[in-house]
Structure 1
């Protein structure tokens, strides 16, 4: 346990030794105290990870109906990890911190997805196309309060994450290419993506209430 790697050792070996040093508190008199039945990689990982409070947004993002690339996008939004212009300014990048879409306010995730008029127009168009009552702000909190069957909640989660993804995609087009689609076209793309998602599932696995709900939402022919 007292071994120290030399400076000429490879990065991989030095990293392994660093982890060994981080494990020292788990030993007493040379015996691994963390797990009563002895060392296991899984148990050691849990010990390293420690206890952290559960977050409620995981039920929205990691839903099986959500398209995988949209899940990653939602995870970034939940962690406020998107490189908005206000974030870039904070990193020392020489850019304007205004919204790349409307140029009327500082570009934060809150503004981009909840306050920007462009995003609000997309929400209104999605509502028209699907007979939905999607709010123009606080979307993640709203989805957590939704009722209905597991499928109905999953489809709503999929719509939400698709919307966030498309807004960010159009934001990047506005920033890098100086062009973007009108809100009506973006809304149609969002609905069409979810229709394709629904059509790929076996209809025999859906009950009559869910089938009727999907038809009322114009997500199933």
Structure 2
């Protein structure tokens, strides 16, 4: 009989855990799930932008698109053109430049208007030219944690809406 994928993962985590601590130490410790998690995933392994992308106020769909954007993994036309999936890499929203992440979310006239409107509504005076510096600015801003979550949710929603609009244009072409 063959074990399931889930069972194999549980056994792998158990083996990893056993490599960090011996049974004698384990029985003497005041164990909690949090302590076990921190043992397996030390805080320094977290990326600095995870709170902004996976914030509790973010809609999950928005977070996924923002995450893919941050990792430069969205299937923008430049990426598809590079691997010869499509013949043309021009921006679907403006047709003025090659469609890559930077252009699509910051330099395209359409997204530029969206960002300008968003910044006016939020009273933002931050320079916006790329996702990573924007997320870093939010994480370092001297505002309350709740306001950081609101700002991150706005950014995630804005990125999602630009991507959704771009895909709607693609659909109706």
TM-score by length of 2: 0.71
Q: Which has the higher contact order (CA 8 A, sep 6+)?
A: 2
User: For residues 63 and 120 of structure 1, do their structure 2 counterparts lie closer, same or farther at Cα, with a shift above 3 Å needed?
Assistant: same
Matches within 5 A, 1:189-204: none
Bigger fraction of residues in helix: 2
How far is 1:176 from its partner? 1.6
User: For residues 13 and 71 of structure 1, do their structure 2 counterparts lie closer, same or farther at Cα, with a shift above 3 Å needed?
Assistant: closer
How far is 1:92 from its partner? 2.8
1:83-107 deviation line (CA, Å, top 9, x unaligned): 1111112333033112111222221
Number of corresponding residues: 158
How far is 1:126 from its partner? 1.9
Structure 1 Cα separation of the partners of residues 155 and 116 of structure 2: 13
- Within the alignment, does 1:96 sit opposite 2:88 as a pair? yes
Query: Do the aligned residues in 2 keep the contact of 1:85 with 1:95 (CA within 8 Å)?
Result: no
In the alignment, what sits opposite 1:80?
Answer: 72
How far is 1:60 from its partner? 0.8
Query: Do the aligned residues in 2 keep the contact of 1:73 with 1:164 (CA within 8 Å)?
Result: yes
Query: Do the aligned residues in 1 keep the contact of 2:77 with 2:86 (CA within 8 Å)?
Result: no
TM-score by length of 1: 0.57
Structure 2 Cα separation of the partners of residues 120 and 149 of structure 1: 27
Matches within 5 A, 1:40-55: 53-55=45-47
Matches within 5 A, 1:6-25: none
1:72-130 deviation line (CA, Å, top 9, x unaligned): 11111121111111111233303311211122222111211122121111111223334
In the alignment, what sits opposite 2:165?
Answer: 170
User: For residues 86 and 13 of structure 1, do their structure 2 counterparts lie closer, same or farther at Cα, with a shift above 3 Å needed?
Assistant: same
In the alignment, what sits opposite 1:158?
Answer: 153
In the alignment, what sits opposite 1:37?
Answer: 23
Pairing partner for 2:127 from 96, 115, 135: 135
Q: Unaligned 5+ residue runs, structure 1?
A: 1-8, 27-31, 179-221
Q: Unaligned 5+ residue runs, structure 2?
A: 25-32
Structure 1 Cα separation of the partners of residues 42 and 88 of structure 2: 40
Larger radius of gyration: 1
1:175-201 deviation line (CA, Å, top 9, x unaligned): 2214xxxxxxxxxxxxxxxxxxxxxxx
